[in-house]
Amino acid sequence: MNDEIIKLLTERYYHDQDISEWAIKCLEKGYDSKSLRILASMPESLYSSSETDDYLKRALKELDWDNIEPEHYLMRYAKILAKEIIENQIDPIKASRGIYQILIDLEYPSELHGWYEIDEMIWDQEYFLKIGNKGYFYHPKEELISEIKKVSEELVKLKD
CB atoms within 10 A of CB 160: 6
Asked whether the predicted pLDDT for residue 23 surpasses 90, the reply is yes
Asked whether the predicted pLDDT for residue 160 surpasses 80, the reply is no
Show the domain range for 125: 70-157
Q: Considering 62, 94, 112, which residue would you say is the last residue of a domain?
A: 62
Cα(99)–Cα(91) distance, integer angstroms: 12
Pair (94, 153) in one structural domain = yes
Q: How many domains does the chain have?
A: 2
H helix and E strand count, the chain: 8, 0
Pair (27, 100) in one structural domain = no
Asked whether the predicted pLDDT for residue 129 surpasses 90, the reply is no
The total number of residues written for the chain in this structure: 160
Pair (26, 47) in one structural domain = yes
Closest CA to 48 of 16, 23, 19: 19
Asked whether the predicted pLDDT for residue 44 surpasses 80, the reply is no
**Mean pLDDT of the chain, nearest integer:** 93
Pair (29, 76) in one structural domain = no
Predicted local distance difference test score (pLDDT) of residue 15: 87
Pair (37, 109) in one structural domain = no
CB 61 within 8 A of CB 75: no
Mean of the pLDDT values across residues 120-134?
A: 86
